[in-house]
Amino acid sequence: MLEITFDLDYRSGKPLYIQLYNFFKNEIQAGKIDPGEKLPSKRKLALYLGVSQNTIETAYEQLLAEGYVESVERKGIYVKELNRDLFLHVNDVLNTTKEINEEAREQYLFDFSQGNIALEHFPYTIWRKLTIQSLYEEKSSYFLNGEPQGELTLREEIAKYLYQSRGVRCSANQIIIGAGTQYLIAFLTMIIGRDAVYSMEEPGFHRTRDAFKDQGVTLKPILLDQDGIDLKHLYDSNANVTYVTPSHQFPNGMVMPITRRMELLKWAEEKGRYIIEDDYDGEFRYKGKPIPSLQGLDNNGKVIYLGTFSKSLIPSIRISYMVLPNSLLEKYSQHFTIYKQTVSRLHQHTLWQFMINGHWERHLNKMRTVYRKKQNTLISSIENYMGRQATIIGDDAGLHILLSLQNHMPEIELIERAKENKVKVYPTSVYYENNHPEQKPMILLGFGGLTENQIELGIRLLKEAWG
């Protein structure tokens, strides 16, 4: 019998047949088992390893299916001739990729990404329980296609929540659920029409800008002033659709005051214009009283409201939504219900249960406290370690701030020096289309995914990096 030196690991949790299959595959690829070599019979190998013949048979069937071995009738199973040079190359590539990934993981101690959230506070136990419950409730129906706009029960809960928390006035019928804001932006350009002239804040979220551009629309950047999007430049642009982030401008962080909101609504009332209001992290406000959404102030059906659960819950479930005014809802109903829903019905049903059972409200209240503490730690650490050498911008709301440094380093040098100290920080130049102010570089610091201790240590390392 072929010499086999292999011990099964009963504690690994990996099926025994997979362990055996991987052993033979790796031995064959490495040339340790020669072509034409006969593998042990199922009965003998089962006795030798102390497992069932079914385990051996399943492992052999997988090797046969992938072409590592061949079965010769009445004789047994033999190793096939393979191009080992190819396997050596593939293994080299895999090993190199593994080393690169490991190096990338080890490269940074602290990552100030604005896209990360406090996963340690996610209610895993509750979410797992509700997910399992969703599978048992009318389980057959959730494996089929649902309503194009999303599950009605979830849309009804979202409508209630939006009215209570953000002053958004809408029915469930006006809400369309979709897999992320970029998808909804692309879908929205189809509903409004690609012949419209679109505009957005400058600076503004680069992924949104790319979503517009990929739809082939005319997109004009509109500069900001201290209150948000500049109305004079907006009028001069001749745009008839504009995208704004009024509750926490991305990335500069200002909150659009009520006077500017009313001026923007007046702009939209003229000539059939529309405002796209992206309230991407409107749940997290740390100073002053919440300002009503633009949609809640709109009496003429000119605002399309966008929201997401990515910041407030978890990004991976990809549940975002938009609220259409009636004029666009009619257009959607006539021409676009042919497009199927893009979010898992199982996730939608789980989120609905999460909301109706009060878990959503409790989770939000908890996260507001968590993020307020993290932001306080970030600000106090910057003040302690950097003092007057740094200016904090946009700390009224959200999960990130901007940091302006007075050390005369350009943006790229700030990022590279931080990297040398194993801290990852982010540029703001990517959020500009045309007008990045090179003479005043700013760094974006997100704090949602770091602990308070990591934030303090990260800022201390940045102080050392930037002098």
pLDDT in tens, 19-58: 888 888 888 888 888 888 898 888 888 888 888 988 888 8
CATH superfamily for 110-121+362-466 is Aspartate Aminotransferase, domain 1 (3.90.1150.10)
Residue 403 to residue 387: CA distance in whole angstroms: 12
Give 236's pLDDT tier (boundaries 50, 70, 90): very high
Which pLDDT value is given to residue 431? 93
Pick the CATH number of 1-105 from 1.10.287.110, 3.40.50.300, 1.10.10.10, 3.10.20.740: 1.10.10.10
Contact 450/464 with Cβ under 8 angstroms?
A: no
**Average pLDDT of the segment spanning 253-266:** 93
pLDDT tens digit string along 294-334? 999 999 999 999 999 998 898 888 999 999 999 999 999 99
Structural domain 124-358, CATH architecture: 3-Layer(aba) Sandwich (3.40)
Quote the pLDDT of residue 96.
56
Give the pair of three-digit tokens for residue 280.
Answer: 């991407």
pLDDT higher than 90, residue 287: no
Average pLDDT over residues 169-176: 97
- Give residue 336's pLDDT band: very low, low, confident or very high (50, 70, 90): very high
Predicted local confidence at residue 106, as pLDDT: 55
pLDDT tens digits, 56-68: 888 888 888 888 8
Digit-coded pLDDT (tens) for 99-138: 545 555 558 899 999 989 998 899 999 999 998 888 876 5
Percent above pLDDT 70 for the chain: 91
pLDDT at 92 over 60: no
Which of the four pLDDT bands, split at 50, 70 and 90, describes residue 437?
low
Annotated domain spans of the chain: 1-105, 110-121+362-466, 124-358
Higher pLDDT, 337 or 1: 337
Contacts (Cβ under 8 Å, ≥6 apart) of 125: none
